[in-house]
Amino acid sequence: MTILDDIIATKYEEIKMYKPVGVNAIDFPQKTTLLEHLQKRNGVISEIKRASPSKGDIKVEIDIVAQAKKYEKAGAAAISVLTDELYFKGSIDDLCEVAKVVSIPVLCKDFMVSEIQVDRAQHAGATIILLIVAALEKQQLKRLNDYALSKGLEVLVEVHDEQELQVALELDAKLVGINNRDLKTFDVSIERTAQLAKSFPFDGGRVLISESGMHTKEDAQFAYANGASGILVGEALMRSENPGNWIRQATSEEAVR
């Protein structure tokens, strides 16, 4: 059993206990779309990540609304919010709080196995969901992808190796994330992006997003230089004294050249 198997197993238990989503729709500010942003210019998908199984507590007590506002003000392309409670100390309420105050896309970062989670994410204000190829059967992946798209959500399809990339391409995913972290062993290497980018077809409006393990402006530069239009950054922004600066530096002319 890997940690990923454990997490997925808890998801099936969790979804049985979800309270039905209320009938009152919340009035969220209108949001832009991530694909359009990344087709035009590079960007940082900035994450709210209180803790993680590989790093333990990162910043559990944090004003996430203030943090999200900093991300938006600095020009983040989107905000990712970890909603898993057990392993990441996040919550669907975290996502909802963020979605209420920003006009950039909001990604529900969780391990989706069921349409119930997709609905719940959208109800809480998410405009993007994550689907992890390594965590899903092919049919299940296709079903959830079709379902989310039919609901008007954007879908980020996450891969970690060549085979998974092919699965994402078969789905015709437009937002493809290469996770530099192996979710089974936690090994991280940003070289993974460079490797997989070699077989990435940069056509059809598809964009490549490099996820995890980026700490410096040079890391961002490396990802962009290897074909990424977007980078997904969690820990570095959560630990930074000045996350706005981090984002601005990683999106400056110099960094994206």
Quote the distance between the C-alpha of residue 41 and its chain's center. 18
Decide whether 46 or 122 has the Cβ nearer to ligand IGP. Answer: 46
> Which residue out of 11, 70, 109, 174 is catalytically annotated?
109
- Smallest distance, Å, CB 63 to ligand IGP? 19
Question: Catalytic: which of 14, 154, 158, 235?
Answer: 158
- Minimum gap (Å) between residue 95 Cβ and ligand IGP: 14
User: Binders of ligand IGP among 156-195, rule CB under 6 A?
Assistant: 158, 179
User: Catalytic one among 42, 80, 145, 179?
Assistant: 179
The DSSP line for the chain is --HHHHHHHHHHHHHHHPPPPPS----PPP---HHHHHHHS-EEEEEE-SEETTTEES-SS--HHHHHHHHHHTT-SEEEEE--STTT---HHHHHHHHHH-SS-EEEES---SHHHHHHHHHTT-SEEEEEGGGS-HHHHHHHHHHHHHTT-EEEEEE-SHHHHHHHHHTT-SEEEEESB-TTT--B-THHHHHHHTT----TT-EEEEES---SHHHHHHHHHTT-SEEEE-HHHHH-S-HHHHHHHHHSHHHH-
Q: Which of 43, 105, 213, 244 binds ligand IGP (CB under 6 A)?
A: 213
Site string for ligand IGP, 33-62 (x = CB under 6 A): --------------x-x-------------
Q: Which of 64, 131, 157, 233 binds ligand IGP (CB under 6 A)?
A: 233
Asked about 14 being catalytic, the answer comes back as no
Instruction: Name the residue number minimizing CB distance to ligand IGP.
Output: 234
Per-residue binding string, ligand IGP, 82-111, x by CB under 6 A, is ---------------------------x--
- Selected from 46, 67, 122, 212, the binder of ligand IGP by CB under 6 A is 212
- Supply 79's token pair: 């905000």
Q: How far is the CB of 181 from ligand IGP (least distance, A)?
A: 6
Question: Whose Cβ is closer to ligand IGP: residue 176's or residue 236's?
Answer: 236
Given the rule CB under 6 A, which residues bind ligand IGP? Answer: 47, 49, 109, 132, 158, 179, 211-214, 232-236
Residues catalogued as catalytic: 47, 49, 109, 158, 179, 211-212
